[in-house]
Amino acid sequence: MRRIEPSDHYAGPSLSEAQLRARVVELAHAAGWRVYSVPMSNRPRSWVKDAVGYPDLTLARRKAVMWLELKTDDEMLSVAQMAWLDSLPFAYCV
């Protein structure tokens, strides 16, 4: 039996979050999803207390909804992001 090597899992160079977002939105549209994208900004959203940590993308099609939090290889979920993902029924970290 052959040993698993790190190169067995290599999927190419890492993407930035903006590149990942663009690719996910492109694929979602191709699959018929409507996409709402939270603007990429580091500014606090003081106008809505619970907006901090809201997932990056909301996808909807045929009465189904899913939320996606996008992370690059070196990013971690914040406490606020984990709370949102735990609160939403179909929320995923990509």
DSSP, res 7:
G
Please compute the mean of the pLDDT values over residues 17-30 and round it to a whole number. 92
Tell me the pTM.
0.76
First to last CA, the chain: 32
Q: What does the pLDDT read at residue 37?
A: 86
Q: Which of 43, 46, 57 is nearest to 88 (CA)?
A: 57
16-51 per-residue burial string, b: 16 or more CB within 10 A, e: under 16:
eeeebbeebbeebeeeebebebeeeeeeeeeeeeee
Q: What does the pLDDT read at residue 41?
A: 60
73 or 6: whose pLDDT is higher?
73
Residue 11 pLDDT > 70, yes or no? no
Specify the residue for token string 């189904």: 64
Q: What does the pLDDT read at residue 17?
A: 84
